[in-house]
């Protein structure tokens, strides 16, 4: 196997992780920044550290990505498929970041994998795609919406007799913890997705065997790149999540972050499902905002975000397929 192709593919995978970090940093900190619980710099630093820690908490999501979605392709053609999948995901990440749309880096990657696999004639495990990707893509936002609404309703009932100003000060402090939990869950989910791609590249290159544990250096590299990307920040998307959907106060921010973090931990540890942190936190914000009054949520903005979710996988798949055909003509 061409060592150069392996190095390039791993390098592109790590760059994808970097774009994932700055694209999705808003997921972890937008609510705490918008409520002024944390300053932007402090929030980004905290998120970067917690992303790093979260990446080492498990490997179930990485196994799903590397073994459960497409068959491991072989030879230089297989490396070309992985390369094209990553190009599709990175392209969609950059487009949605430019327009400030909180789309899913995860589903951009999955769409890229499916599109490149189909173009390259590699088997797609449609049952795995359906069970681990498509169903959670529809179910997790609904769960986030409902749980966010219920958590905020419970907070409003528990603190119904409290002094509003004191309660807000307390929740502003509590948001430090909930934002850290959100960043930890982001590291747990998103760093592992790239680990799965790197492991596939190593298997194709005969450096690792199918089913081997994830090498420590792969975990470290993916975790560090995600953290660096997170620290770089994604201000365009942060404004959308923190302000454009609804103006959040500290109790609402705490409820949304707690909801998001809890769902990410449950899905990672119990179901090993690679869900979208973007889908979860956005839907949680909508659910929390609806407790104020239904029209407090800017549903026009929410509609545009949801439409972006639906086109992410097909768009990334199309770019990945085109990328594979170009690579195939030029190098394979």
pLDDT band at 149 (very low <50, low <70, confident <90, very high): very high
Region for residue 14 given its phi and psi (left: phi exceeds 0; alpha: psi -120 to 50; beta: otherwise): alpha
Average pLDDT over residues 107-133: 92
CA–CA dist 30, 280 (Å, integer): 13
Mean pLDDT throughout 118-140? 90
Residue 235 has pLDDT above 70, yes or no: no
Decide which of 74 and 79 is more confident: 79
pLDDT recorded at residue 17: 92
Measured CA to CA, the distance from residue 315 to residue 294 in angstroms comes to: 32
Residue 234 pLDDT exceeds 90: no
Mean predicted lDDT score pLDDT of the chain: 85
Nearest alpha-carbon partner for 113 in 147, 88, 149: 88
d(CA 127, CA 83): 24
Residue 80 and residue 324 in contact, taking contact as beta carbons nearer than 8 Å: yes
- Neighbouring CB atoms inside 10 A of 182's CB total 32
What are 296-309's pLDDT values in tens digits?
A: 566 665 666 677 77
Q: What is residue 304's predicted lDDT score, i.e. its pLDDT?
A: 65
Q: Is the pLDDT of residue 114 over 90?
A: yes
* Residue 164 pLDDT > 80: yes
Question: Could you tell me the CA-to-CA distances from 249 to 35, 62, 148, 242, 299 in Å, in that order?
Answer: 5, 35, 14, 10, 18
Contact indicator for 189, 61 with CB cutoff of 8 Å: yes
How would residue 103 be classed by pLDDT, with cut points 50, 70 and 90?
A: confident
- Can you give the C-alpha Rg of the chain in angstroms? 19
- Which pLDDT score, from 0 to 100, does residue 278 have? 78
Q: What are the structural domain ranges in the chain? A: 3-331
Which of 117, 128, 126 is CA-nearest to residue 83?
117
State residue 95's pLDDT score.
87
pTM of the model: 0.86
**299, exposed or middle or buried, with CB in 10 Å at 0-12, 13-18, 19+?**
middle
Q: Residue 178 pLDDT more than 80?
A: yes
**In sequence order, what are the residues at sequence separation of 6 or more whose Cβ sits closer than 8 angstroms to the Cβ of residue 104?**
276, 277, 278, 279, 309, 312
Q: Are 110 and 40 in contact (CB under 8 A)?
A: no
Determine the Cα–Cα distance for residues 14 and 252; give it in Å rounded to an integer: 34
Rounded mean pLDDT, 119-127: 92
Q: Report the pLDDT value the prediction gives residue 138, as an integer from 0 to 100.
A: 84
Q: Is the pLDDT of residue 247 over 90?
A: no
CB atoms within 10 A of CB 175: 30
Please tell me the predicted confidence (pLDDT) of residue 239: 57
Name the residue among 267, 315, 328 with its Cα closest to residue 112.
315
Q: What percent of the chain has pLDDT over 70?
A: 89
């Amino acid at each position: 196997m061409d060592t150069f192709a392996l190095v390039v593919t791993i390098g592109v995978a790590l760059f994808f992780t970097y774009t994932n970090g700055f694209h999705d940093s808003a997921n972890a900190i937008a609510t705490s920044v918008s409520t002024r619980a944390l300053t932007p710099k402090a929030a980004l630093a905290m998120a970067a550290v917690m992303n790093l820690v979260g990446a080492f908490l498990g490997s179930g999501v990485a196994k799903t990505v590397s073994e459960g979605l497409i068959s491991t392709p072989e030879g230089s053609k297989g490396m070309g498929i992985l390369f094209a999948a990553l190009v599709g995901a990175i392209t969609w990440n950059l487009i949605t970041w430019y327009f400030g749309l909180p789309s899913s880096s995860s589903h951009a990657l999955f769409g890229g994998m499916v599109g490149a696999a189909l173009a390259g004639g590699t088997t797609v495990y449609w049952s795995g795609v359906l069970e681990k990707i498509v169903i959670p893509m529809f179910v997790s936002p609904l769960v986030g919406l409902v749980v966010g609404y219920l958590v905020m309703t419970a907070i409003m009932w528990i603190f119904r007799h409290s002094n509003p100003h004191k309660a807000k000060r307390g929740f502003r402090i509590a948001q430090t913890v909930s934002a850290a939990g959100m960043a930890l869950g982001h590291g747990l989910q998103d760093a592992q997705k790239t680990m799965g791609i790197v492991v596939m590249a190593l298997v194709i290159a005969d450096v690792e065997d199918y089913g081997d544990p994830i090498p420590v250096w792969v975990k470290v590299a993916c975790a560090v790149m995600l953290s660096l990307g997170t620290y770089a920040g994604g201000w365009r998307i942060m404004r959308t999540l923190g302000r454009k959907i609804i103006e959040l106060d500290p109790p609402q921010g705490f409820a949304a972050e707690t909801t998001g973090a809890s769902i990410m931990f449950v899905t990672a540890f119990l179901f090993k499902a690679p869900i979208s942190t973007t889908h979860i936190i956005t839907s949680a914000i909508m659910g929390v905002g609806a407790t104020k009054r239904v029209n407090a949520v800017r549903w026009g903005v929410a509609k545009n975000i949801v439409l972006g979710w639906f086109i992410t996988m097909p768009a990334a798949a199309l770019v990945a397929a085109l990328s594979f055909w170009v690579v195939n003509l030029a190098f394979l």
